[in-house]
Amino acid sequence: MGIFKILEPAELPYDFGEWKKEPFSERMKMVCQAWALQGFGAPPAIILFYVFKIAIYIAGWIFFCSFSESLGSFSYIGEWWFKFEALGKAIVWTALFEVLGFGGGSGPLTGRYVPPFGGWTYFLRPGTVKCPFLPRVPILGNDKRTIIDVLLYVGLLTTGFYILCAASISPHFILLLTILLLLCGILDRTVFLAARGDIYFPMLICLLFPENGMEGLKLIWFGIWFWAAFSKLTPNFTSVICVMICNSPVFNMKILDEFKKKLFVKYPDDLRPSKLAGYVAHFGTLVEFSMPLLLIFFQANPVITFYALVILTLFHIFIFMNFPMGVPMEWNVIMVYGGWLLFGYHIDISTWGIVEPVIMLILFFSIFLLPLLGHFFPRHISFLLSMRYYAGTWGYSVWLFKGDALEKIDLNIKKSSKALMTQLKHIYEEEKAEAALTKVMAFRLMHLPGRLLNRLIPKAVENIDDYEWMDGEFIAGEVLGWNFGDAHLHHEPVLESIQKRCNFKEGELRVIMVESPKLHSQESDWRIYDACSGLVGKGKGNVREMENILPWGENAALERKHTLN
């Protein structure tokens, strides 16, 4: 019995049967209070799953590096790991690892249990649902995967693995890989985003030009850190710190319960972020802002560079230990590795030495224009392309299924994974599986933008107790084969694709869609749809108003001096 204990989720601090009898607002209060101490309550074995996955990822990189004439086997890694060729192999391997479905968006922390991976199990299957880049354009806007989509995806994988197994990285094959990735993305942007095209596509462009490639990669690394920090300059990030730390399986020890409580104004009655949470959030943002700036502006100073890299390494280790939703573990590894290689071991190469026009153009779009526009016009640009990584500024959607209407998705849509509840039933008893899923509501409500739901749910349905709550992230993962916090993978075109196949009746499915807050105003556009009849309502909400609202919708005391620790 003891060996199976590590597979068990944390016990809820209340009786689940009694919980179901409570009014909706009280139920939300209880799940949020439970999250504050135990997060999602994931079993300890989850840590082993992701650590093992990272070990396979690193071992794969070392294996593919052994094919390169200028590199070698693991025995000689100290002689070659800092070479440009080794980083090139890491970039191609990571992009393939991601697009296969083994990277971010995989495993139990992203709602994948049986099977634990999406990616290739969808992208190689004709008839599955796509999310085309141009949904209104004939042929290109087809939402059903065809043999052409599959062949392009196979070509993408084949080209990538050929590069990995080659004696050296050929710019000609890198060019073919980038073309195939673009074509796959036009036909199904899920594939492009799953490959993390927001960062690896411009990196591949740099590999096309070995003479300027390292300078370009340095700017990309800087841009990722900079925009990730920039996106945290909002009221939203402090709530992210609370939710993330409380959810970490590493920090899920009773001895840390008092520390977790201090992250909130007054646990358990006021779960707004405390001053302590604010200090932690601001310190993290300061590190993520200042260290990359030091690397860029003091590139020739080995002492400053060394200590900046040490601090950034510790920063990424902290992120890794928190196992944030989406679990971008491979991203943390390659950011640390690339940081040391580019800035530490190649300190003589300056980012100001780029002369290749193609690299300059791609970098202008990828690490300047798209992130900048994405912060001001979030409805039109993917949160990933905007580089708004885990800052609490993501959009989201909540899908409300009446009665047993959710079953229509399993019955009518071709996919490789069953409904989330069905997956969980393979592991837990039904009540335990149902109890675990209720924590997802807490995750959404405890972030500032999620608190708008307290106003929007009554506009969407008359009686929430008649509906089953499903987060849009799980809908995207189940229907499209990949999810990573991008609400544009479960917005209007995806709803239309699902309705075309499932034919929900009036009132059977209502969807609340909330866009990311705009940087300058912190306004969030929202829409409510009925799958059958269309738009039910739309409007705007302001995240700043949510600072005085508790996650379960009650107004908190307005005078900060009486409420903050």
Give mean pLDDT in consecutive 10-residue pieces for the chain, a chain of 565 residues. Answer: 57 90 94 92 84 96 96 92 96 98 91 91 97 92 97 98 97 97 97 97 96 94 95 91 90 87 94 95 94 94 96 94 87 96 94 90 95 94 90 92 95 93 83 87 94 96 95 96 94 97 98 94 95 97 91 71 38
- Rounded Cα distance, 47 and 71, in Å: 32
Domain assignment of residue 437, yes or no: yes
Report the SS3 class of residue 140: coil
What single-letter DSSP state applies at residue 449? G
pLDDT score at 431: 84
Q: How many domains does the chain have?
A: 1
Domain assignment of residue 522, yes or no: yes
Angle, vertex CA 215, rays to CA 213 and CA 217, nearest 5: 70
Report the SS3 class of residue 428: coil
Report the SS3 class of residue 358: helix
**Domain coverage including residue 432:** 396-563
Sequence letter at residue 97 = F
Domain assignment of residue 156, yes or no: no
Domain assignment of residue 246, yes or no: no
Domain assignment of residue 258, yes or no: no
Please, what's the largest Cα pairwise distance for the chain? 67
Domain assignment of residue 458, yes or no: yes
pLDDT score at 377: 94
- For residue 165 the two structure tokens come to 């197994």
- For 401, phi then psi, to 5°, come to -105, 130
For the beta sheet containing 396-402, the strands, ordered from the edge strand earlier in sequence to the opposite edge, are 467-471, 396-402, 509-514, 523-530, 534-542
- Rounded Cα distance, 326 and 297, in Å: 32
pLDDT score at 492: 96
Domain assignment of residue 486, yes or no: yes
What single-letter DSSP state applies at residue 452? G
pLDDT score at 558: 43
Residue tagged 């209407």 (tokens): 405
pLDDT score at 7: 66
pLDDT score at 110: 87
Cis peptide upstream of residue 23 (ω within 30 degrees of 0): no
Spell out the residues 6+ positions from residue 127 whose beta carbon is closer than 8 angstroms to its own: 144, 145, 414
Spell out the residues 6+ positions from residue 109 whose beta carbon is closer than 8 angstroms to its own: 40, 42, 46, 50, 323, 325, 326, 327
pLDDT score at 40: 86
pLDDT score at 563: 40
pLDDT score at 5: 52
Report the SS3 class of residue 311: helix
Domain assignment of residue 533, yes or no: yes
